[in-house]
Amino acid sequence: MTLSRRRFLTRSAAIGCSAAASPLLTPVSFASAPWDTRLVVIILRGGVDALDMLQPYGDPNYAGLRTKLAGGPDRGGLDLDGFHALHPGLQPLMPLWQRGELGFVQAVSTPYRNRRSHFDGQDLLEAGSAGLGEVRDGWLNRMLQQMGGVESRTAFAIGQGEMKLLHGGAPVSDWAPDAALVLSPQAKLLAEQMMMGDPMFHDALAEALELSQDGTMGLADDADDMLEMTMPLPSRGKSHRKIAEFAAERLRGETRVAAFSINGWDTHSRQAAGLKAGFGRLSDTILTLRDGVGDAIWGKTAVLAMTEFGRTVRENGTGGTDHGTGGAMLLSGGAIRGGRIYGRWPGLTEADLFDRRDLMPTADVRAQAAWIMRGLIGIDRSQLEQVVFPGLDMGADPGLLL
């Protein structure tokens, strides 16, 4: 791919790298800050089925609503608390549950209702507002704006996909696996001359060349085309693991916040196969993070995995479920008070369901994230309710952290 200067300049007046056309992941974003704890937010795009992640086999209506998809200890599920069973695809995470480093919040959602659009649902989840279009930036970025001393490396984003969670005035950095800018020596010289009069872009180029020492980008061996800047196409492989490894490496250093997404949760058909693969990637990602940061950093880390909405309580005729409302939130990390399932179970009788079709939300997913940031980073409650999540009532502390 040949890049012009226009293609080289990207959003937020920065240069960046993003996962080019990855079917599984969107870019991973980082922000450094002066506090010592770590926060990782994973967006599970597509609407994860809460009733398959956490199988409520103890509810008397569950098996009748899901004659094929119902799980539980007698169908391979892993018993958690005598009421919920964990999907077998998440079995690799059971040691974390047993050590109190894995937990869940059941029946949560954003304020989004009724239309059940992936695009609107994800926009609202990442904006953290009560309604679409109310704010322009993401809630993680607004959190950073409330904290002093936030710094970031210059951003690099080439390719597709954005993390709206981190859009906003606070500086952040972007990176993606398998995307590497390669410059011939002549192209490097030309780029430096083009950007000499623009300090911001000149500094961004200098940062790009600095990253080349880490193997992220570098000078082309073949200098035949003096104007060419190329980006190798992403290679096949476990991109989720590469992202987790890179995140862990940065979290061991100055990085304090990381956010990325894992796609593939829109299971309208063949849900059993789709979730087995998806939960395998999610498990692999969390364990790679845990191993990569090491015991000391993991002990002060909180991982939040959240989705835009849940899925219908009843299975459909193609072995799947359709867009719903109430979902589930996965929590992990040494800072989490795990080994338990939080939230109020709404029940599965028809009268208990939202619109008589979906799991009824009993908690706002934004409140769970707010309490974690309050305890982990020390942000004032009024800032969380008025700025980070405008109009949110956090309610009582659910005790998600140690």
- 250 backbone dihedrals φ, ψ, rounded to 5°: -70, -35
In terms of Cα–Cα distance, which of 398, 400, 379, 376 is closest to 142? 379
How would DSSP label each residue in 58-120? TSTTHHHH-TTT--SGGGT-EESSSS-EE-GGGGGGHHHHHTT-EEEEEEEE-S--SS--HHH
Q: How many C-beta atoms lie closer than 10 Å to residue 34's C-beta?
A: 11
Nearest one of 155, 129, 153, 152 to 142, comparing CA atoms: 129
- Confirm if 10 and 158 have CB atoms less than 8 A apart: yes
**Mean pLDDT to the nearest integer, 345-371:** 98
pLDDT of residue 196: 65
Find tokens 């119902």 and name the residue: 70
Which tokens belong to 70? 């119902």
Instruction: Read off the pLDDT band of 170 (50, 70, 90).
Output: confident
pLDDT tens digits, 110-156: 999 988 999 999 999 999 999 999 999 999 999 988 987 777 642 22
| pLDDT at residue 223, as a whole number | 40
Residue 219: band (very low, low, confident or very high) from pLDDT cuts 50, 70, 90: very low
Residue 133 backbone dihedrals phi, psi, to 5 degrees: 80, 5
Alpha carbon distances (Å) from 292 to 64, 87, 203, 243, 253? 43, 25, 30, 11, 12
CA 397 to chain centre: 23
Q: What's the CA gap between 282 and 279, in Å, rounded?
A: 5
Give tens-digit pLDDT for 191-216: 666 666 666 555 555 655 554 444 34
Helix (H, G, I), strand (E, B) or coil at 268: coil
Cα dihedral 377/381/387/393 (nearest 10): 130
Domain range list for the chain = 17-178+238-388
Q: What is the DSSP string of 139-197?
A: HHHHHHHTSTT-B-PPP-B-SS---GGG-SSS--EEE-TT---EE-HHHHHHHHHHTTT
Candidates 3.40.720, 2.60.40, 1.25.40, 1.10.287; CATH matching 17-178+238-388:
3.40.720
**78 vs 233 pLDDT, higher one:** 78
